[in-house]
Amino acid sequence: MKKCIVCDGDISEYSEISEDVEINGWKCNECEETFFTSNEMLRWEVLTGRRPKNVRKVRKMGSSLMVTLPNELVKNTGIHSDDLALFKKVKEGILIEIVHPEAA
């Protein structure tokens, strides 16, 4: 069983409703401290409007995954339908380079 980092007590799965959004994590059975993963906190921030609108959900389409682009990003960068997206793994994460077909 997982242990509490505050009092070393046993922790159990836990969920609560915060600002009309259910958030899942763990709660200590001894000191009642609650713990949430960073992914769960990010999800809560997005759903409650505390995170900028440039966060997107990854979705499954066939055997691939897809992510939509925020309209503001599209308008400010000149990305168009039928452009090509080149993905590169970099130290900080993923770099997406847009290639316009007429320039290829």
Domain 59-103 has what CATH class? mainly beta
What does the block give as tokens for 97?
A: 């380079």
Question: What are the C-alpha distances in Å from 62 to residues 57, 67, 69, 101?
Answer: 16, 13, 19, 25
**Looking at this protein, which amino acid is placed at residue 29?**
N
- What would the pLDDT profile of 18-29 be if each residue is shown by its tens digit? 999 999 999 999
What does the block give as tokens for 100?
A: 């316009």
**Position 32 pLDDT exceeds 90:** yes
Domain boundaries, the chain: 11-47, 59-103
What gap in Å lies between CA 95 and CA 20, rounded to an integer? Answer: 35
**Position 38 pLDDT exceeds 70:** yes
Q: Please give the mean pLDDT across all residues of the chain.
A: 90
